[in-house]
Structure 1
Amino acid sequence: MTEAELLDLCRQGDARAFAQLVEPHRLKVWAVCSRITRNQQDAEDAFQDTLVAAWQNLHKFRGDSQLGTWLHRVAANASLAVIRRRKDVLSAQDDFLDVVDPAPSVADRVTTVAAVRAAIDTLPDDFREAIVLREVAGMTYQEIADHQRIPVQTVRSRISRARARLVAELTPSIS
């Protein structure tokens, strides 16, 4: 079935069609939730909230953007809502993996992943959200600007500053 046909079935209340519709986007939505919340349990909550919100608000999806982009926005919003609800219990534990180079040994990879996680955790929320939406969700600068309700130039600045902070944070760890 095409995405349009699945959307029609979903809007008629077909839960199985919804499962088929979101399946191709599941991993990226999970990655957005994981990286924004930085916590396994919070990411699970945000992921579930994303699916519920997407199901309940599918009638609002106008098709102006791709479904995946819309789902990533819903995921980012759900993740930020979870962070706001649980700001005091955030931890640096999460389950996303960010493989920088597939060739290193397992020990090197674990060390690198841990360093990247720690570096991402040091970013302010607005920088972290922008870099995750760009690098994980693959959103354009314009889509991120629309999502965050800020000018495109501010998005560019946030991503540039986030990358600079990550490089500065990771440089001593990598060398």
Structure 2
Amino acid sequence: MDSNTEVLVAWRSGLSGWDALVDRYSRLVWSVPRSFRLSQTDAADVYQCTWLCLAEHLTRLREPDHLATWLVRTATRQSIAVLRTRGREVSYDLWEPVSVLPSPDEVAITHDRQRRLWSALMTLNERCQRLLRIAAHSPELSYAQVADALGMKLGSVGSTRSRCLADLRRKVGDLR
């Protein structure tokens, strides 16, 4: 089976199309939560949730040829949800001396900076949000890899990234 359409038709017919989909896109789906630097356990949860979402929405997919983009977007959203949840958790080693823990002022300042950055990032359009997340969490990716993952033209990645960063800087400054 070559095309996504053929695989989806086979799956809908009760054939083993699902295994072909997982084989084809497993590495791609797995790379997204890992690019967010999630733990092995959290990345595995995102991976499973992404495939579960696909199973739930498979009959509603209108453009099978854009399945890779759909999977990346879904895994990205799942990863961000995990990061938000983990961002609210503060873990401390109870055996560490108390002097190692940050002061309440340091914690408040750090949380305020993070809140302002996330608030500004969330006001950007989805394309900028996705591009900046990839740039922040996977700086080793080439422009060609970024363009492929986001469905962009190769020549527009650098200029779009620059515009998105400038917009983010401006919006963070406005939140001060």
1:79 corresponds in structure 2 to: 79
Q: Which residue of 2 aligns with 1:58?
A: 58
| Structure with larger Rg | 2
Runs of 4+ in 1 over 4 A off after TM superposition: 122-128, 132-137, 153-156, 159-162
Partner of 2:7: 6
Q: What whole-Å deviation, never above 9, does each CA across 1:44-81 have from its counterpart, x for those lacking one?
A: 11111001001111122111752211111111112122
TM-score normalized by the length of structure 1: 0.53
Q: Give the distance between the partners of 1:159 and 1:23, measured in 2 at CA.
A: 36
Does 2:164 align with 1:158?
A: yes
Report whether the alignment pairs 1:138 with 2:149: yes
Structure 1 CA distance, aligned partners of 2:90 and 2:45? Answer: 13
Could you tell me how far apart the structure 2 residues matched to 1:129 and 1:59 are?
Answer: 29
Counterpart residue identity of residue 9, structure 1: A
Q: How does 1:83-98 map to 2 (within 5 A)?
A: 83-89=83-89
- Report if the CA contact (8 A) 2:35-2:134 is conserved: no
Letter in 1 for 2:86: R
State the Cα RMSD in Å: 3.7
Q: Give me the TM-score of the superposition, normalised by structure 2.
A: 0.52
Q: Give the alignment partner of residue 129 of structure 1, picking from 133, 136, 144.
A: 133
Q: Partner residue of 1:48?
A: 48
For the 8 Å contact 2:5–2:64, the answer to whether it is kept is no
CA pair 38-63 structure 1, distance change in 2 beyond 3 A: same
Q: Contact 2:33–2:76 (CA<8 Å) still a contact in 1?
A: yes
CA shift in 2, pair 1:156/1:64, >3 Å: farther
Unaligned runs of 5+ residues in structure 1 are 92-121, 143-152, 163-175
Contact 2:46 2:79 in 1 (8 A): yes
Contact in 1 for aligned 2:29/2:71 (Cα 8 Å): yes
Residue segments in structure 2 that go unaligned for 5+ positions in a row: 92-113, 122-128, 154-158, 169-176
Residues 73-100 of structure 1, C-alpha deviations (whole Å, 9 max, x = no match): 1111121222233323489xxxxxxxxx
- CA, structure 1 residues 25+37, in 2 after alignment: closer, same or farther (shift >3 Å)? same
CA deviation string 1:115-158 (max 9, x = no partner)? xxxxxxx996746524359746621348xxxxxxxxxx876533
Percent identical among aligned pairs is 28
The CA distance in 2 between the partners of 1:159 and 1:31, in whole Å, is 23
- Give the structure 1 partner of residue 104 of structure 2: none
Superposition deviation, residue 36 in structure 1:
2.1
Q: Which secondary structure state, in structure 1, belongs to the residue aligned with residue 36 of structure 2?
A: helix
